[in-house]
Protein backbone atom coordinates (compact mmCIF):
# COMPACT_ATOMS: atom_id res chain seq x y z
CA UNK A 1 0.00 0.00 0.00
CA UNK A 2 1.49 3.37 -0.96
CA UNK A 3 2.36 6.03 1.59
CA UNK A 4 0.53 9.29 0.90
CA UNK A 5 2.79 12.36 1.06
CA UNK A 6 1.21 15.00 3.25
CA UNK A 7 4.41 16.86 4.21
CA UNK A 8 4.68 19.49 1.50
CA UNK A 9 4.93 23.28 1.33
CA UNK A 10 3.69 25.75 -1.22
CA UNK A 11 3.51 29.47 -1.89
CA UNK A 12 1.99 31.50 -4.70
CA UNK A 13 1.95 34.76 -6.59
CA UNK A 14 -0.64 36.09 -8.98
CA UNK A 15 1.09 34.32 -11.85
CA UNK A 16 2.59 31.10 -10.41
CA UNK A 17 2.48 28.47 -7.67
CA UNK A 18 5.71 27.13 -6.11
CA UNK A 19 5.33 23.63 -4.61
CA UNK A 20 8.10 21.85 -2.68
CA UNK A 21 7.64 18.07 -2.26
CA UNK A 22 10.24 16.23 -0.09
CA UNK A 23 11.08 12.56 -0.90
CA UNK A 24 13.18 10.98 1.83
CA UNK A 25 15.35 8.01 0.97
CA UNK A 26 14.17 7.58 -2.62
CA UNK A 27 15.34 8.85 -5.97
CA UNK A 28 12.85 10.41 -8.37
CA UNK A 29 13.02 10.74 -12.14
CA UNK A 30 10.86 12.68 -14.62
CA UNK A 31 9.07 9.43 -15.43
CA UNK A 32 7.60 9.43 -11.90
CA UNK A 33 5.77 12.72 -12.52
CA UNK A 34 2.42 13.05 -14.31
CA UNK A 35 0.87 16.49 -14.79
CA UNK A 36 -2.02 17.98 -16.76
CA UNK A 37 -3.72 21.35 -16.60
CA UNK A 38 -5.57 20.53 -13.34
CA UNK A 39 -4.12 17.21 -12.13
CA UNK A 40 -0.71 16.48 -10.60
CA UNK A 41 0.56 13.04 -9.57
CA UNK A 42 3.97 11.92 -8.26
CA UNK A 43 4.45 8.17 -7.82
CA UNK A 44 7.82 7.12 -6.36
CA UNK A 45 7.31 3.76 -4.57
CA UNK A 46 6.47 3.56 -1.77
CA UNK A 47 5.40 7.27 -1.81
CA UNK A 48 2.41 8.71 -3.66
CA UNK A 49 1.27 12.31 -4.06
CA UNK A 50 -1.92 13.25 -5.87
CA UNK A 51 -3.50 16.67 -6.22
CA UNK A 52 -6.52 18.03 -8.08
CA UNK A 53 -5.43 21.66 -8.43
CA UNK A 54 -7.63 24.54 -7.40
CA UNK A 55 -7.56 26.09 -10.89
CA UNK A 56 -6.09 25.22 -14.32
CA UNK A 57 -2.38 25.74 -14.96
CA UNK A 58 -0.19 26.02 -18.06
CA UNK A 59 1.25 22.50 -18.02
CA UNK A 60 3.39 23.18 -21.10
CA UNK A 61 5.53 25.91 -19.50
CA UNK A 62 5.41 24.61 -15.91
CA UNK A 63 8.64 23.02 -14.66
CA UNK A 64 9.85 20.51 -12.08
CA UNK A 65 13.39 20.42 -10.64
CA UNK A 66 14.61 17.22 -8.98
CA UNK A 67 17.57 17.28 -6.61
CA UNK A 68 18.74 16.62 -3.04
CA UNK A 69 15.67 14.52 -2.25
CA UNK A 70 13.22 17.32 -3.17
CA UNK A 71 11.00 17.96 -6.17
CA UNK A 72 10.40 21.68 -6.69
CA UNK A 73 7.46 22.52 -8.97
CA UNK A 74 6.90 25.90 -10.65
CA UNK A 75 3.29 25.89 -11.88
CA UNK A 76 2.21 28.87 -14.00
CA UNK A 77 -1.45 29.82 -13.69
CA UNK A 78 -3.60 30.22 -16.76
CA UNK A 79 -5.44 33.12 -15.12
CA UNK A 80 -3.90 35.76 -12.88
CA UNK A 81 -5.50 35.22 -9.47
CA UNK A 82 -4.76 34.15 -5.92
CA UNK A 83 -5.92 30.63 -4.99
CA UNK A 84 -7.71 29.92 -1.73
CA UNK A 85 -5.93 26.55 -1.50
CA UNK A 86 -3.62 24.33 -3.50
CA UNK A 87 -6.18 21.59 -4.15
CA UNK A 88 -9.92 21.32 -4.49
CA UNK A 89 -11.19 20.46 -1.03
CA UNK A 90 -14.13 18.22 -0.10
CA UNK A 91 -14.18 16.52 -3.49
CA UNK A 92 -15.96 13.14 -3.51
CA UNK A 93 -14.42 9.97 -4.92
CA UNK A 94 -16.55 9.98 -8.05
CA UNK A 95 -15.46 13.48 -8.96
CA UNK A 96 -11.82 12.61 -8.29
CA UNK A 97 -12.13 9.50 -10.44
CA UNK A 98 -13.70 11.53 -13.23
CA UNK A 99 -10.88 14.12 -13.03
CA UNK A 100 -8.25 11.36 -13.12
CA UNK A 101 -9.84 9.77 -16.20
CA UNK A 102 -10.12 13.15 -17.96
CA UNK A 103 -6.48 13.91 -17.13
CA UNK A 104 -5.31 10.57 -18.51
CA UNK A 105 -7.47 11.07 -21.62
CA UNK A 106 -6.03 14.55 -22.18
CA UNK A 107 -2.51 13.20 -21.68
CA UNK A 108 -3.13 10.51 -24.32
CA UNK A 109 -4.56 13.05 -26.75
CA UNK A 110 -1.63 15.39 -26.13
CA UNK A 111 0.85 12.56 -26.66
CA UNK A 112 -0.91 11.61 -29.89
CA UNK A 113 -0.79 15.21 -31.12
CA UNK A 114 2.90 15.46 -30.24
CA UNK A 115 3.59 12.20 -32.07
CA UNK A 116 1.75 13.51 -35.14
CA UNK A 117 3.65 16.80 -34.92
CA UNK A 118 6.95 14.93 -34.63
CA UNK A 119 6.01 12.81 -37.63
CA UNK A 120 5.22 15.91 -39.70
CA UNK A 121 8.41 17.58 -38.52
CA UNK A 122 10.41 14.48 -39.40
CA UNK A 123 8.90 14.41 -42.88
CA UNK A 124 9.69 18.10 -43.32
CA UNK A 125 13.26 17.48 -42.16
CA UNK A 126 13.59 14.63 -44.67
CA UNK A 127 12.24 16.85 -47.42
CA UNK A 128 14.58 19.66 -46.42
CA UNK A 129 17.53 17.25 -46.26
CA UNK A 130 16.68 15.91 -49.73
CA UNK A 131 16.42 19.43 -51.14
CA UNK A 132 19.67 20.41 -49.44
CA UNK A 133 21.40 17.31 -50.86
CA UNK A 134 20.12 18.11 -54.35
CA UNK A 135 21.33 21.69 -54.01
CA UNK A 136 24.73 20.48 -52.83
CA UNK A 137 24.97 18.04 -55.73
CA UNK A 138 23.96 20.79 -58.16
CA UNK A 139 26.51 23.15 -56.63
CA UNK A 140 29.19 20.45 -56.83
CA UNK A 141 28.32 19.72 -60.45
CA UNK A 142 28.47 23.42 -61.28
CA UNK A 143 31.80 23.73 -59.45
CA UNK A 144 33.25 20.84 -61.49
CA UNK A 145 31.94 22.39 -64.72
CA UNK A 146 33.47 25.73 -63.72
CA UNK A 147 36.79 24.04 -63.00
CA UNK A 148 36.69 22.33 -66.40
CA UNK A 149 35.90 25.62 -68.11
CA UNK A 150 38.71 27.36 -66.22
CA UNK A 151 41.16 24.62 -67.25
CA UNK A 152 39.93 24.87 -70.85
CA UNK A 153 40.42 28.64 -70.86
CA UNK A 154 43.82 28.28 -69.21
CA UNK A 155 45.01 25.79 -71.88
CA UNK A 156 43.67 28.08 -74.61
CA UNK A 157 45.51 31.08 -73.18
CA UNK A 158 48.73 29.08 -72.84
CA UNK A 159 48.41 27.88 -76.45
CA UNK A 160 47.82 31.42 -77.72
CA UNK A 161 50.77 32.67 -75.67
CA UNK A 162 52.99 29.92 -77.10
CA UNK A 163 51.90 30.80 -80.65
CA UNK A 164 52.65 34.46 -80.00
CA UNK A 165 56.06 33.60 -78.60
CA UNK A 166 56.83 31.47 -81.65
CA UNK A 167 55.73 34.31 -83.95
CA UNK A 168 57.95 36.77 -82.06
CA UNK A 169 60.90 34.40 -82.27
CA UNK A 170 60.42 33.96 -86.01
CA UNK A 171 60.18 37.74 -86.52
CA UNK A 172 63.33 38.31 -84.46
CA UNK A 173 65.18 35.70 -86.50
CA UNK A 174 64.04 37.31 -89.75
CA UNK A 175 65.08 40.76 -88.57
CA UNK A 176 68.43 39.37 -87.46
CA UNK A 177 68.99 37.76 -90.88
CA UNK A 178 68.08 41.01 -92.65
CA UNK A 179 70.48 42.93 -90.40
CA UNK A 180 73.28 40.49 -91.09
CA UNK A 181 72.62 40.71 -94.84
CA UNK A 182 72.65 44.52 -94.68
CA UNK A 183 75.97 44.50 -92.83
CA UNK A 184 77.51 42.19 -95.44
CA UNK A 185 76.36 44.51 -98.25
CA UNK A 186 77.85 47.55 -96.49
CA UNK A 187 81.13 45.73 -95.93
CA UNK A 188 81.30 44.85 -99.64
CA UNK A 189 80.67 48.50 -100.57
CA UNK A 190 83.43 49.67 -98.21
CA UNK A 191 85.93 47.22 -99.68
CA UNK A 192 85.04 48.33 -103.21
CA UNK A 193 85.52 52.01 -102.32
CA UNK A 194 88.86 51.26 -100.67
CA UNK A 195 90.11 49.56 -103.86
CA UNK A 196 88.93 52.47 -106.03
CA UNK A 197 90.60 55.09 -103.81
CA UNK A 198 93.84 53.12 -103.72
CA UNK A 199 94.34 53.20 -107.49
CA UNK A 200 93.02 56.80 -108.07
CA UNK A 201 95.57 59.39 -109.52
CA UNK A 202 96.16 62.21 -107.03
CA UNK A 203 95.43 65.88 -108.04
CA UNK A 204 98.20 68.46 -108.47
CA UNK A 205 99.23 70.43 -105.35
CA UNK A 206 98.00 67.87 -102.95
CA UNK A 207 99.50 64.70 -101.61
CA UNK A 208 96.38 63.38 -99.99
CA UNK A 209 93.48 61.61 -101.54
CA UNK A 210 90.09 62.96 -100.66
CA UNK A 211 87.92 60.13 -99.53
CA UNK A 212 84.19 60.50 -99.34
CA UNK A 213 83.05 59.58 -95.81
CA UNK A 214 80.85 56.55 -95.66
CA UNK A 215 77.72 56.48 -93.64
CA UNK A 216 77.98 53.48 -91.33
CA UNK A 217 75.12 51.84 -89.48
CA UNK A 218 74.00 53.62 -86.36
CA UNK A 219 75.74 56.91 -87.07
CA UNK A 220 72.51 58.95 -86.98
CA UNK A 221 71.51 57.30 -83.69
CA UNK A 222 74.88 58.08 -82.14
CA UNK A 223 74.54 61.73 -83.11
CA UNK A 224 71.04 62.01 -81.72
CA UNK A 225 72.12 60.37 -78.44
CA UNK A 226 74.95 62.87 -78.03
CA UNK A 227 72.53 65.71 -78.72
CA UNK A 228 70.13 64.43 -76.10
CA UNK A 229 72.89 64.17 -73.48
CA UNK A 230 73.82 67.79 -74.08
CA UNK A 231 70.20 68.91 -73.58
CA UNK A 232 69.66 67.07 -70.21
CA UNK A 233 69.58 69.34 -67.12
CA UNK A 234 72.11 68.97 -64.32
CA UNK A 235 71.23 66.51 -61.50
CA UNK A 236 69.66 67.88 -58.32
CA UNK A 237 71.69 68.28 -55.18
CA UNK A 238 71.23 65.59 -52.56
CA UNK A 239 69.60 66.20 -49.19
CA UNK A 240 67.98 64.46 -46.19
CA UNK A 241 64.31 64.80 -45.24
CA UNK A 242 63.66 64.06 -41.56
CA UNK A 243 60.18 62.87 -40.53
CA UNK A 244 59.14 62.67 -36.88
CA UNK A 245 56.15 60.59 -35.74
CA UNK A 246 54.30 60.92 -32.45
CA UNK A 247 54.95 57.79 -30.40
CA UNK A 248 51.75 56.07 -29.25
CA UNK A 249 51.77 53.37 -26.61
CA UNK A 250 47.97 52.93 -26.48
CA UNK A 251 45.89 51.53 -29.36
CA UNK A 252 43.44 54.46 -29.35
CA UNK A 253 43.96 57.46 -31.61
CA UNK A 254 45.52 60.53 -30.02
CA UNK A 255 42.39 62.66 -30.58
CA UNK A 256 40.26 60.06 -28.72
CA UNK A 257 42.64 59.45 -25.83
CA UNK A 258 43.27 61.12 -22.51
CA UNK A 259 46.99 61.82 -22.61
CA UNK A 260 47.38 62.93 -19.00
CA UNK A 261 45.68 59.84 -17.54
CA UNK A 262 47.61 57.54 -19.90
CA UNK A 263 50.94 59.06 -18.87
CA UNK A 264 50.04 58.62 -15.18
CA UNK A 265 49.08 54.97 -15.84
CA UNK A 266 52.33 54.27 -17.74
CA UNK A 267 54.37 55.89 -14.97
CA UNK A 268 52.59 53.81 -12.32
CA UNK A 269 53.17 50.61 -14.32
CA UNK A 270 56.86 51.41 -14.73
CA UNK A 271 57.24 52.15 -11.01
CA UNK A 272 55.37 48.94 -10.13
CA UNK A 273 57.74 46.90 -12.33
CA UNK A 274 60.73 48.41 -10.54
CA UNK A 275 59.28 47.91 -7.05
CA UNK A 276 60.71 44.98 -5.12
CA UNK A 277 60.12 44.80 -1.36
CA UNK A 278 63.36 45.23 0.57
CA UNK A 279 62.50 43.10 3.62
CA UNK A 280 63.12 39.64 2.08
CA UNK A 281 65.54 38.20 4.64
CA UNK A 282 63.25 35.23 5.24
CA UNK A 283 63.19 34.49 1.48
CA UNK A 284 66.93 34.07 1.03
CA UNK A 285 66.60 30.30 0.51
CA UNK A 286 64.53 30.78 -2.65
CA UNK A 287 65.94 30.10 -6.09
CA UNK A 288 66.80 33.07 -8.26
CA UNK A 289 63.76 32.64 -10.54
CA UNK A 290 61.47 32.32 -7.49
CA UNK A 291 62.38 35.90 -6.57
CA UNK A 292 60.90 37.18 -9.84
CA UNK A 293 57.21 38.22 -9.54
CA UNK A 294 56.62 37.68 -13.27
CA UNK A 295 57.95 34.13 -13.08
CA UNK A 296 55.73 33.43 -10.05
CA UNK A 297 52.72 34.92 -11.87
CA UNK A 298 53.29 32.60 -14.87
CA UNK A 299 53.67 29.64 -12.52
CA UNK A 300 50.40 30.53 -10.78
CA UNK A 301 48.66 30.79 -14.16
CA UNK A 302 49.85 27.28 -15.11
CA UNK A 303 48.68 25.88 -11.75
CA UNK A 304 45.27 27.54 -12.22
CA UNK A 305 44.96 26.06 -15.72
CA UNK A 306 45.56 22.55 -14.32
CA UNK A 307 43.00 23.03 -11.52
CA UNK A 308 45.56 23.19 -8.67
CA UNK A 309 44.07 26.36 -7.14
CA UNK A 310 45.84 26.10 -3.76
CA UNK A 311 49.26 25.95 -5.42
CA UNK A 312 48.28 28.90 -7.62
CA UNK A 313 47.28 30.93 -4.53
CA UNK A 314 50.65 30.15 -2.92
CA UNK A 315 52.49 31.34 -6.03
CA UNK A 316 50.46 34.57 -6.16
CA UNK A 317 50.97 35.12 -2.39
CA UNK A 318 54.75 35.00 -2.79
CA UNK A 319 54.59 37.27 -5.85
CA UNK A 320 52.53 39.83 -3.86
CA UNK A 321 55.12 39.75 -1.06
CA UNK A 322 57.80 40.55 -3.63
CA UNK A 323 55.77 43.25 -5.42
CA UNK A 324 52.44 44.49 -4.06
CA UNK A 325 51.89 47.10 -6.77
CA UNK A 326 50.94 44.80 -9.67
CA UNK A 327 47.12 44.62 -10.09
CA UNK A 328 47.27 41.41 -12.17
CA UNK A 329 48.49 39.44 -9.14
CA UNK A 330 45.43 40.41 -7.05
CA UNK A 331 43.15 39.86 -10.04
CA UNK A 332 44.42 36.31 -10.66
CA UNK A 333 44.38 35.46 -6.95
CA UNK A 334 40.74 36.61 -6.79
CA UNK A 335 39.89 34.06 -9.50
CA UNK A 336 41.54 31.31 -7.41
CA UNK A 337 39.60 32.34 -4.29
CA UNK A 338 36.36 32.15 -6.27
CA UNK A 339 37.17 28.56 -7.25
CA UNK A 340 38.02 27.73 -3.62
CA UNK A 341 34.84 29.47 -2.32
CA UNK A 342 36.94 31.97 -0.33
CA UNK A 343 34.42 34.66 -1.23
CA UNK A 344 35.47 37.39 1.19
CA UNK A 345 39.09 37.07 0.07
CA UNK A 346 37.97 37.23 -3.55
CA UNK A 347 36.16 40.51 -2.80
CA UNK A 348 39.25 41.93 -1.05
CA UNK A 349 41.60 41.02 -3.93
CA UNK A 350 39.22 42.37 -6.59
CA UNK A 351 38.86 45.65 -4.67
CA UNK A 352 42.65 45.93 -4.33
CA UNK A 353 43.07 45.31 -8.07
CA UNK A 354 40.52 48.08 -8.85
CA UNK A 355 42.38 50.38 -6.50
CA UNK A 356 45.63 49.79 -8.43
CA UNK A 357 43.93 50.01 -11.85
CA UNK A 358 43.80 53.80 -11.71
CA UNK A 359 43.53 56.07 -13.56
CA UNK A 360 41.05 54.31 -15.89
CA UNK A 361 42.51 54.23 -19.42
CA UNK A 362 41.86 52.01 -22.49
CA UNK A 363 44.96 49.93 -21.68
CA UNK A 364 43.43 48.59 -18.44
CA UNK A 365 39.80 48.24 -19.56
CA UNK A 366 39.88 44.42 -19.75
CA UNK A 367 41.45 44.14 -16.30
CA UNK A 368 38.84 46.45 -14.75
CA UNK A 369 36.01 44.46 -16.35
CA UNK A 370 37.42 41.21 -14.89
CA UNK A 371 37.81 42.80 -11.45
CA UNK A 372 34.19 44.05 -11.39
CA UNK A 373 32.80 40.71 -12.63
CA UNK A 374 34.79 38.63 -10.12
CA UNK A 375 33.80 40.86 -7.21
CA UNK A 376 30.19 40.88 -8.39
CA UNK A 377 30.23 37.06 -8.64
CA UNK A 378 31.53 36.78 -5.08
CA UNK A 379 28.79 39.14 -3.82
CA UNK A 380 26.10 37.09 -5.60
CA UNK A 381 27.43 33.82 -4.13
CA UNK A 382 27.15 35.49 -0.71
CA UNK A 383 23.53 36.34 -1.70
CA UNK A 384 24.36 40.08 -1.70
CA UNK A 385 22.63 40.53 -5.03
CA UNK A 386 22.30 44.32 -4.93
CA UNK A 387 26.06 44.79 -4.51
CA UNK A 388 26.74 42.17 -7.18
CA UNK A 389 24.41 43.92 -9.64
CA UNK A 390 26.25 47.23 -9.07
CA UNK A 391 29.57 45.60 -10.03
CA UNK A 392 28.07 43.92 -13.12
CA UNK A 393 26.57 47.24 -14.25
CA UNK A 394 29.97 48.93 -13.73
CA UNK A 395 31.55 46.25 -15.95
CA UNK A 396 28.85 46.85 -18.60
CA UNK A 397 29.64 50.59 -18.64
CA UNK A 398 33.22 49.70 -19.61
CA UNK A 399 32.27 46.94 -22.09
CA UNK A 400 28.63 47.60 -23.15
CA UNK A 401 28.78 45.06 -26.02
CA UNK A 402 29.56 42.06 -23.77
CA UNK A 403 26.45 39.87 -24.13
CA UNK A 404 27.52 37.38 -21.42
CA UNK A 405 27.84 40.07 -18.73
CA UNK A 406 24.56 41.63 -19.87
CA UNK A 407 22.77 38.27 -19.61
CA UNK A 408 24.17 37.59 -16.10
CA UNK A 409 23.16 41.09 -14.94
CA UNK A 410 19.62 40.44 -16.18
CA UNK A 411 19.49 37.17 -14.18
CA UNK A 412 20.57 39.05 -11.03
CA UNK A 413 17.78 41.62 -11.61
CA UNK A 414 15.22 38.81 -11.87
CA UNK A 415 16.50 37.30 -8.61
CA UNK A 416 16.23 40.66 -6.85
CA UNK A 417 12.71 41.20 -8.21
CA UNK A 418 11.66 37.67 -7.22
CA UNK A 419 10.80 36.61 -10.76
CA UNK A 420 13.58 33.98 -10.90
CA UNK A 421 14.23 31.21 -8.38
CA UNK A 422 17.63 31.52 -6.67
CA UNK A 423 20.13 28.96 -7.93
Q: What is the pTM of this model?
A: 0.40
Assess contact for 308 and 261: CB atoms under 8 A: no
Q: Are residues 77 and 120 in the same domain?
A: no
Which of 146, 164, 197 marks a domain boundary? 197
**Apex CA 414: angle with CA 411 and CA 418, to 5°?**
140
Q: Are residues 44 and 140 in the same domain?
A: no
At 16-65, the pLDDT tens digits run 989 888 887 788 888 888 888 888 888 888 888 888 888 888 888 889 98
235 falls within a domain: no
Q: Are residues 293 and 399 in the same domain?
A: yes
Which phi and psi angles does 4 have, rounded to 5°? Answer: -75, 130
Which of 163, 180, 197 marks a domain boundary? 197
Which of 57, 91, 125 marks a domain boundary? 91
At 208-252, the pLDDT tens digits run 444 444 444 444 444 444 444 455 666 777 777 777 665 555 555
Is residue 277 scored above 60 in pLDDT?
Answer: no
**Burial, 4: exposed, middle or buried (Cβ in 10 Å; 0-12, 13-18, 19+)?**
exposed
Assess contact for 157 and 165: CB atoms under 8 A: no
Q: Is 77 helix (H, G, I), strand (E, B) or coil?
A: strand
369 falls within a domain: yes
- Spatial strand order in the sheet of 16-22: 9-12, 16-22, 70-76, 63-67
368 falls within a domain: yes
DSSP output for 275-311: ---S--GGGTTS-SGGG-HHHHHHHHHHHHHTT-HHH
Beta bridge partners of 50: 41
Q: Are residues 401 and 264 in the same domain?
A: yes
Task: Report the chain's mean pLDDT, rounded to a whole number.
Answer: 81
351 falls within a domain: yes
Confidence of residue 205 (pLDDT cuts 50, 70, 90): very low
Is residue 76 scored above 60 in pLDDT?
Answer: yes
300 falls within a domain: yes
What pLDDT score was predicted for residue 250? Answer: 54
Mean pLDDT on 254-259: 57
40 falls within a domain: yes
What pLDDT score was predicted for residue 228? Answer: 47
Which phi and psi angles does 414 have, rounded to 5°? Answer: -65, -40
Mean pLDDT on 151-169: 91
Mean pLDDT on 155-178: 90
Q: Are residues 398 and 296 in the same domain?
A: yes
203 falls within a domain: no
The enclosing domain of 320 has a CATH number of: 1.25.40.10
**Apex CA 89: angle with CA 85 and CA 92, to 5°?**
160
Q: Are residues 303 and 372 in the same domain?
A: yes
Q: Are residues 174 and 64 in the same domain?
A: no
Residues 6+ apart with CB under 8 A from 56: 37, 38, 77, 78, 79
Number of domain units in the chain: 3
Domain extent at residue 27: 3-91
At 112-143, the pLDDT tens digits run 888 888 889 888 898 899 989 999 999 999 99
C-alpha pair distances (Å), 172 with each of 36, 61, 186: 96, 88, 21
Amino acid sequence: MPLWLRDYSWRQTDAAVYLSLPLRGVRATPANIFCTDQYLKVSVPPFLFEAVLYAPIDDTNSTAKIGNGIIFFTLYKKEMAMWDSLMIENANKEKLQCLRENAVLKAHEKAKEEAEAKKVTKQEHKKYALEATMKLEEAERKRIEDLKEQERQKVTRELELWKKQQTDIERQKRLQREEELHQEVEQLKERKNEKVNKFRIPNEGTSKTRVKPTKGPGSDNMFSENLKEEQLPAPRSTGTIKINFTSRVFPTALRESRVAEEEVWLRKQAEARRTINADLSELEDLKEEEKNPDWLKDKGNKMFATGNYLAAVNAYNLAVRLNNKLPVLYLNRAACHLKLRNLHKAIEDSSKALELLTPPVPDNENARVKAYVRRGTAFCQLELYAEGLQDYEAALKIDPKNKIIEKDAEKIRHIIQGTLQDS
